[in-house]
Structure 1
Amino acid sequence: MIPPPLPPNLESRRSQMFPVLDARDHERMQRFGEVRHFRDGECLAAAGQPSPGMFVLSQGRVALSRRDGLGHSIPIVEEGPGQFLGEVAQLSGRPSLVDAHAVGEVEALVIPPHRLRALLVAEADLGERIMRALILRRVGLLETGAGGPVLVGPPEGAGRVRLEGFLSRNGHPYLALDPAQGGEAASLLERYSPRAEELPLVVCPDGSVLKNPLESTLARALGLLPEGAFETRYDVTVVGAGPAGLSTAVYAASEGLRVLVLDQRAFGGQAGASSRIENYLGFPTGITGQALTARAYVQAQKFGVEMAIPAEVASLRCAASGEPLALELTDGRRVRTRTVVVASGARYRRPALANLGQFEGRGVFYWASPIEARMCDGEEVVLVGGGNSAGQAAVFLAGHARRVRVLVRGRELAASMSSYLVERLAASPRIELVMETEVVALAGSDERGLRSVRWRHQPSGREEEHDVRHLFLFIGADPATEWLAGCGVALDAKGFVRTGAALGEEPLQTEAWEATGRAPFTFETSLPGVFAIGDARSDSVKRVGTAIGEGSAVVAQLHACLTSAAAAERRGAERPPRALRQAPSHPHVRHQGASGRMPPHGARAMKKVCPHLEVTEHHRTAPIHPSGHGCMECLKDGGDWVHLRMCLTCGHVGCCDDSPSRHATRHFHASSHPVIKSFEPGEDWAWCFVDEQLLERIPTFPGESPPVHYSAPMSAP
């Protein structure tokens, strides 16, 4: 079979999109999957249906084809032994975007999503080749619209523009058809007879038809949004999937924390809508905001971050001391989490124009993507704003529009815009700068949308009105923090979140802070366990680089917060009488009796023994030695060890608060054995950090010895 041509920019990379793995590669992958057999013609994957994961072929061939809701099926490629089936959707278990059928008898290694992620981390060089292929395949699907819904409606219709923006910003393929061009699009309108407000029609891959759906409705129909309740108690829940939030997610998940990211619209935030970022370190030719944040989005999924987009947070609920925080979503669901990171950013300010809402999405826009640029071809547009985002958008639109008028309230751009952008705007023959000017009125109709814009020159009071169908607003920034109202998180006068030293003393005079026994961390808010980063944080520098830096820096504070919370929980737990506690058996070890404490970080015990715990009965360990630093309670005791835990994979020994979940989850990525055993005298349990299950009354393993083989006391870092 001769493979059909790929899009021109991908044809030269065909060998990277569809690599052939050798016998050694296949052997390395065996432990991550299960061998299955398929009959001739049997379906391995169906577009729009959940996929079991990635298929690695050892015998036979599989034909891949792309299909849409209109019934079209187009061959993509036929793969054989040594090749694998899958794209980035398989990292998170989302529905397949293509059909796959066996050609003859097929034998394949099926690697489920969580084991695929483990493979990518454990086998770095092999994982790099697989990851590159998965990403390139998604790029190919995006460029052809394969596997996604079909939008049927007028190109400038507000509903179509809105849904196109949602799908493109979330990296999901789609096709858009104009019924005015006739053909199948016109036939669909005749068949369903939608009213104007019901456009566009959305034909999903399974053939179902939606009429101008909400983004959340479409996301559920496509399998992009998790269904049902959030059963997991997360270590970290990040609200906002912009650069700051994605940075936190990547670093936290890569260090073993269980992370959920919520965003009400799309990943990328304001930066994701930027046409080109040229002053971000490491990209000398520049990079689009969408490309930069899409890489972070895929990277987060590689490390196991769970994404719920679109999912809007209604409120934050504070629980009793020792209990998890709770986020209430607008759809009625609840997320329980040990820490919250506020990365919800800021939104562009809406000017005080009486009829602004009438034209939003129908001529008035707050971002400039290729979708909006397409509508501006050969026309005159107006853009309002004097910051970097405004400058980047103006340069981008100038490549499509006949003329771009940039209205700026200030007297000069240098105070608010990077010099390279100022120079580029001044050099463009299609860009006209209009200083000390603001928009005062809009005119148009419901049927035709925006038709004219009036603005006023502030020093002279002179007003002008021009026929303009497209107005782009990039002015100011209002914090997206209204969901924090009433929860105890202190805001500044503008609504941005106060953190660290900016809190002062008054917000900290609470029982919650007294229970922690510490001061807030740099990015921590007035509510223990709730942090704020990026544009939502008071006095932060509103730049992509700063947001990413804060997102990575807060992870160390999250670990410290979880450690502090676990220590506070132990201090508050009931303890046996001092007379029943064991006496020290070594000058550098202070033993302490058990009191039925929960495993580290307050994880909940479950009765069923998971497969990881079943193997502990046969595990052998050597005499233990300390491998890391202890918790605050250890430090208070002059450096003596109090609480000891051993990793049953490598023998690492550390304090119970020395990030055991991070350490064990790293091993889970590599060996699927994420178990920690307690060596604290009087305690006898092992804990699986992946399955959240407990095994009590562990048999004494041959070769174990009490924790007395220390050569020196622990010292504070």
Structure 2
Amino acid sequence: MSQSTAFTARRDQMFPTLGEVDIERMRRFGQASSYAAGEFIVKAGNVAPGLVVVLSGKVDITQSGFGRREIIVTHEAGSFVGELAQLSARPSLVNAEAIEPVQAFVIASQRLRDLMVQEANLGERIMRALILRRVGLLESGASGPVIIGALDSGDVLRLQGFLARSGQPYRALDAETDPCARTLVERFQVDPHHLPIVLCPNGKLLHNPGENELARCIGLLRPIDAGKLYDVAIVGAGPAGLAASVYAASEGLSTIVLDCRAFGGQAGASSRIENYLGFPTGISGMALMARAYNQAQKFGVEMVIPDEARLLNGTAGMTGYTVDVGDGETVRARTVVIASGARYRRLDIANLAEFEGTSVHYWASPIEARLCAGQEVALVGAGNSAGQAAVYLASHVGKVWLLARGSSLDASMSRYLVERIRAQPNIEVLTGTEIEALDGHEGNLATVRWRDRESGVATTHPIRHLFLFIGADPNTDWLANCNVALDARGFVRTGPDIGPTHTLQETSRSGVFAIGDVRSGSVKRVAAAVGEGAQVVAALHAYLAQG
């Protein structure tokens, strides 16, 4: 991390030295503690006691792997030990070792969140430091789990994508070319056919894990307290769900958020959002959603990600509803907000699934950009997400073939994106065109055939990577047996569609609300989703006030 951009450019903000006045303001939130020379305050993979404010002595913060120990920083009097993991009592990504006797006080996670609220200016400095420290760890790629396998395999890409979207640092090592990877494969006697493997910071080895298993191993996903009754359970951690969680928790409602993939939803897939209010230079969807995710945790929102909502049970009233999730767990809540968004639409091509995960992508992130650097790629879509992805990929690949079924991009894409695409010399737009065949071997795409809809002329190109941004369908399969009214396309009906007295986000079930892309008639924009997330909190308060 010591060589990262974040470290060198913003070191003073990343590792501030607190004055005596600040320390005294913080002391009431903590408990006195001391550590002997050589004692570990925390080891990577274990949960830290909290934010540790150093009064005297020195603490080395290190990251280690494959026999190497790298010092990130040495904390002295006036510094504090911790990063974003301490905000929500997640396992530490680094080691903290007292290298001489240390006197300190420890602020546990709950009290740290109290400090953020009650001491706003001081809390802002601490929060900025915690975020920048995580950014440094992400840039260094030397902390977190280690993925070992073929770097172009579908499972390695799947695991990398999950960790990247979850804001977790990781390393991915090629089992064939990296000597450290080969050493680990031999040490654990892993058959190459059983790759990939993941070595978690706590020392546990996983064989090609699912996202849920990996999340539990690194402490992202923890058991749900089945005995707790939350004020609100929010299903979906996209812009609408995260906005609702921030406003609900900041107004004192006990809040839990579920998502079956990662935070950010489809907005997280946007390489750059330039028309979101307040960001004149633009911001990546992942950066915007990560800020919202951290903001929610600051106010004490419990995140259950990735875990899938499967069934909504219960009736309106003080006993509330239950949401059945994966692994047989249950969430109990007085109200439920459906913000499960939409799932990516797929092409109707018989062998599409054969190439998904390796050659067919629904997301254009740095992982995919590295995978197809310098190549020709095809991208299907005519909306803003497709335009953003095309512009982003154009800066990494040799050429982007942008295919659209319609006669023009102007009807479905923002003007600034259309103009930017036209200005890119390595983007070729083919309107009135559709994919009709894919060909390849062992999951690796080799050629793509597309056809001009007017002339009927078909063309085959050597394309190894295909990106699909062709819209989305509502993610409401889990509501099939829940007596929540849906429209003909599967979106959740709300407001006047249900009855004249219903507010905009109310569904057919009292105490159950729907917001964002999943709601019938919603405007499919990030800003609109955030607005609905904020607006629904007033409806939650009104419902809960009825007793």
TM-score band w.r.t. shorter chain: over 0.9
Partner of 2:13: 16
| Contact in 1 for aligned 2:317/2:334 (Cα 8 Å) | no
2:37 aligned with 1:40: yes
Match of 1:159 among 152, 155, 160: 155
Partner of 2:367: 371
Partner of 1:273: 269
Q: What is the correspondence of 1:597-676 to structure 2 with a 5 Å cutoff?
A: none
Summarize deviations over 1:578-604 as a string: whole Å, max 9, x none: xxxxxxxxxxxxxxxxxxxxxxxxxxx
| Contact in 2 for aligned 1:201/1:212 (Cα 8 Å) | yes
Which amino acid in structure 2 is aligned with residue 456 of structure 1?
Answer: R
**Hey, what's the Cα distance between the residues in 2 that align with 1:528 and 1:323?**
13
2:451 aligned with 1:456: yes
**Hey, what's the Cα distance between the residues in 2 that align with 1:19 and 1:243?**
31
Summarize deviations over 1:593-625 as a string: whole Å, max 9, x none: xxxxxxxxxxxxxxxxxxxxxxxxxxxxxxxxx
SS at match of 1:104: coil
**Deviation of the 1:229 alpha carbon:** 4.2
Partner of 1:49: 46
Partner of 1:125: 121
Summarize deviations over 1:284-309 as a string: whole Å, max 9, x none: 11000010000000000000000011
Partner of 2:348: 352
Summarize deviations over 1:292-347 as a string: whole Å, max 9, x none: 00000000000000001101011111236542101001221000011111111112
Which amino acid in structure 1 is aligned with residue 465 of structure 2?
Answer: H
Partner of 1:95: 91
Which amino acid in structure 2 is aligned with residue 10 of structure 1?
Answer: F
**Hey, what's the Cα distance between the residues in 2 that align with 1:72 and 1:337?**
47
Partner of 2:463: 468
Listed as ranges, the gaps of 5+ residues in structure 2 are none
2:509 aligned with 1:527: yes
Summarize deviations over 1:146-204 as a string: whole Å, max 9, x none: 43011111221101100000001100010111123231112233444545663221111
Partner of 2:175: 179
Which amino acid in structure 2 is aligned with residue 562 of structure 1?
Answer: L
SS at match of 1:32: coil
**Deviation of the 1:10 alpha carbon:** 2.8
Partner of 2:251: 255
Partner of 1:313: 309
Pick which of 214-223 and 316-325 moved more: 316-325
Q: What is the correspondence of 1:186-585 to structure 2 with a 5 Å cutoff?
A: 186-192=182-188, 194=190, 198-227=194-223, 229-319=225-315, 321-446=317-442, 449-504=444-499, 519-564=501-546, 566=547
Which amino acid in structure 2 is aligned with residue 15 of structure 1?
Answer: D
Summarize deviations over 1:352-373 as a string: whole Å, max 9, x none: 1111111110200111100001
**Hey, what's the Cα distance between the residues in 2 that align with 1:379 and 1:193?**
36
Which amino acid in structure 1 is aligned with residue 42 of structure 2?
Answer: A
**Deviation of the 1:76 alpha carbon:** 0.8
**Hey, what's the Cα distance between the residues in 2 that align with 1:264 and 1:400?**
30
**Deviation of the 1:13 alpha carbon:** 1.1
**Hey, what's the Cα distance between the residues in 1 that align with 2:104 and 2:189?**
46
**Hey, what's the Cα distance between the residues in 2 that align with 1:198 and 1:252?**
45
| Contact in 1 for aligned 2:237/2:340 (Cα 8 Å) | yes
**Hey, what's the Cα distance between the residues in 2 that align with 1:12 and 1:187?**
35
Listed as ranges, the gaps of 5+ residues in structure 1 are 506-518, 567-717
SS at match of 1:256: coil
**Hey, what's the Cα distance between the residues in 2 that align with 1:382 and 1:525?**
40
Which amino acid in structure 2 is aligned with residue 368 of structure 1?
Answer: A
**Hey, what's the Cα distance between the residues in 2 that align with 1:334 and 1:54?**
31
Identity over the aligned pairs, expressed in percent? 57
**Hey, what's the Cα distance between the residues in 2 that align with 1:103 and 1:10?**
22
Q: TM-score, normalised by structure 1?
A: 0.75
Partner of 2:23: 26
**Hey, what's the Cα distance between the residues in 2 that align with 1:400 and 1:186?**
30
Summarize deviations over 1:357-414 as a string: whole Å, max 9, x none: 1111020011110000101111010000110000000000001111100110111111
**Hey, what's the Cα distance between the residues in 1 that align with 2:189 and 2:401?**
40
Summarize deviations over 1:110-136 as a string: whole Å, max 9, x none: 000000000011001111111111010
Summarize deviations over 1:456-509 as a string: whole Å, max 9, x none: 11112221111111001111210001111121111010000010012247xxxx
Aligned residues: 547
Which amino acid in structure 2 is aligned with residue 244 of structure 1?
Answer: A
SS at match of 1:15: helix
SS at match of 2:100: strand
CA 1:269–1:111 in structure 2 vs 1: closer, same or farther (change >3 Å)? same
**Hey, what's the Cα distance between the residues in 2 that align with 1:320 and 1:535?**
24
Which amino acid in structure 1 is aligned with residue 489 of structure 2?
Answer: K
